[in-house]
Amino acid sequence: MPRLVVVFLPEGSGAMVDAMPSLPNGVRVERRPAAGPVSTFAGVGELARAVGEAVAGGASGVVVVHPAETLAETAWALELLHEGSAPIALVAASGGPSELADAIAVAAAGPRWLGCAVVAHGDIHAARHVRATGIAAPAFASPGAGPLGQVIGGIPRLLWRPPERFTVRGPFAGRPPRVGLHVVALGDDGALLRALAGHCDGLIVAARAGQAALAALVPVLAETAARIPVVLHSPTATPGGMAVTGLEPLKARVLMHLLLDAGHDRAAVLNAFAALEGNAAAPSAPSPVASAF
């Protein structure tokens, strides 16, 4: 019986499928319209539900054709929200038919532990690591990790296995949380950070390695961290024992948003970040999802 791959397409991108090279043997494709405006968390939630329904309906894998500008953030959100084991492959709407064919190959033949991946220019990128690196001609890379694998001759070949998956479970209800993102910069005296923090339910602070300006923000950071979850993206030790993450700041913000939206309090949010970083014992499970919050 052919393996079914459901492809979610934004309006006007059906030509990608029509111009695509021949499908891998034993694969059947079903087109569906993209669910919701994917520029919002609500839209990404609708997409996650649609993906879950496709898998529950018998799909072996799912492909999402997505605008390039927020593709990396959506891929990470889907990785966190997808509780199933079927592979999900995202491809940029600006990509060509050959990239779509590669994504279908990954969705059809990828291992059950793959989770969500981005397929671009023959490379397979893990959702946790992938970043957009181009603007006029969108490209993607995985700094510090490298591609998860490549698609060669229509066959996905993986180079390494990512850590066991991490998910955030709902229900998601109530007022969507406001999660701020502050980038520490030259001359930062904390005034703008304090103003931003006053309107946030959670805060991500991005600081470069060895950034001396961060020291001047310790008082306002400590004050804010006593009230809401605050996580620093910094490759070096942070002042005052603040919670730290290696996640790229935009993805750290996605994770914090989903955790708060699921009803987790400050302590649980910080514990989830610690578990993701491997700094705390995470609950084990026999499924591909090792940690779930």
Question: Which stretches of 13-100 are assigned E, i.e. beta strand?
Answer: 27-33, 61-66, 88-92
Domain annotation covers residue 292: no
11, 69: one domain: yes
Q: What are phi and psi of 138, to 5 degrees?
A: -55, 135
10, 153: one domain: yes
44, 151: one domain: yes
Domain annotation covers residue 218: yes
Domain annotation covers residue 285: no
Per-residue pLDDT for 290 more than 70? no
Instruction: List pLDDT tens digits, range 121-158.
Output: 999 999 999 998 876 666 899 998 999 999 999 899 99
The pLDDT of residue 280? 40
**188, 216 in Cβ contact below 8 A?**
yes
Residue 253, domain CATH: 3.40.50.40
Per-residue pLDDT for 162 more than 90? no
Most confident listed range (1-5, 15-19, 106-110): 106-110
239, 115: one domain: no
Domain housing 235:
179-280
36, 67: one domain: yes
CA–CA separation, 251 and 233 (whole Å): 10
The pLDDT of residue 15? 72
Most confident listed range (32-41, 196-205, 271-280): 196-205
Q: How many domains does the chain have?
A: 2
Predicted confidence band at 212 (pLDDT cuts at 50, 70, 90)? confident
Strand (E) or helix (H) holding 124: strand 123-126
102, 218: one domain: no
11, 60: one domain: yes
Q: Which of 112, 137, 162 is the last residue of a domain?
A: 162
Exposure string of 14-50, with b = 16+ CB inside 10 Å and e = fewer, is eebbeebeebbeebebeeeebbeebeebeebbbbbeb
151, 209: one domain: no
Cα dist from 206 to 52, 211, 236, 250, whole Å: 33, 10, 12, 9
67, 195: one domain: no
Predicted confidence band at 52 (pLDDT cuts at 50, 70, 90)? very high
78, 36: one domain: yes
Taking the complete model, does pTM exceed 0.85, yes or no? yes
Residue 57, domain CATH: 3.40.50.1170
Residue 236: which residues within 8 A CB-CB, separation 6 or more?
Answer: 209, 210
Q: Which long-range contacts (CB under 8 A, 24 or more apart) does 171-176 make?
A: 171/262, 172/45, 172/258, 172/261, 172/262, 173/263, 174/261, 174/263, 176/41, 176/42, 176/257, 176/261
23, 129: one domain: yes
Instruction: List pLDDT tens digits, range 248-268.
Output: 999 999 999 999 999 999 999
Percent of the chain at pLDDT > 90 equals: 60
Q: Which of 135, 162, 189 is the last residue of a domain?
A: 162
What is the chain's mean pLDDT, rounded?
87
222, 269: one domain: yes
Per-residue pLDDT for 216 more than 80? yes
Per-residue pLDDT for 285 more than 60? no
